[in-house]
Amino acid sequence: MTDKIGVLGKKSGQRTQRSGVERVVNAPLPTVYGQFRAIGYIDHDRGDEQVALIHGEPGTDGVLVRLHSECLTGDAFGSQHCECGDQLAAALRAVVAEGSGIVVYLRGHEGRGIGLLAKLRAMALQAEGLDTVEANLALGLPVDARDYGAAAGILRDLDVRSVRLMSNNPRKREALIEHGIEVTEQVPLLIQPCESNITYLRTKRERMDHHLPHLDAVGQLT
């Protein structure tokens, strides 16, 4: 891995404005899943603090990677409205089982980029019968406002050239390719649905093109 920190951008008078991601810290992080290193970054373009959790020595090609969008309700509170918390846990277990890999935890992605309070407002509308797409649009917000430039910058800083991407979302694959990271394989990260999230998951499959073939075997949950 490179120790080079940051990318310098445009100059404004005598002041140099930074752009891209800057590596700030590398700390050991023992977890219930295994031993990781937490490498922290500043995203100078958006102002977010980001972190990459690294297990083992991932190398440069065919690295098992998860780009995980921040989800406070799912990751911290165990919400069953989505599958995010279970996906994060599954991804961390997967890289440990693999022997090496990277989970990039993307802050600023809450609610597919609309923010925590807007996400809660959208969830309230979903409780009234709208689906996740309709709820965002009813609030005058984009269906998906996430940007993956910082994720690609982090992977480049870690000397990763190609990845096996743990995701069901084709947009993540397309975004990495657009930013110059090769995706050699898209690895499904399928979570058993429950009554609280089956409608949400079906909407992601039918309206957002997520690859969720396991839903075909799921009947009507009551």
The catalytically annotated residue of 144, 156, 157, 173 is 144
Alpha helices per DSSP H over the chain: 84-98, 110-113, 116-127, 132-138, 149-157, 170-178, 198-208
The catalytically annotated residue of 23, 146, 156, 173 is 146
The Cα 88–Cα 75 span in angstroms is: 7
What SS3 string covers 172-205? HHHHHHHCCCEEEEEECCCCCCCCCCHHHHHHHH
Report residue 132 as tokens.
């996740």
Number of neighbours of residue 31 by Cβ within 10 angstroms: 12
Q: Is 46 a catalytic residue?
A: no
Q: Is 18 a catalytic residue?
A: no
The Cα 47–Cα 88 span in angstroms is: 23
What residues are labeled active site? 144, 146
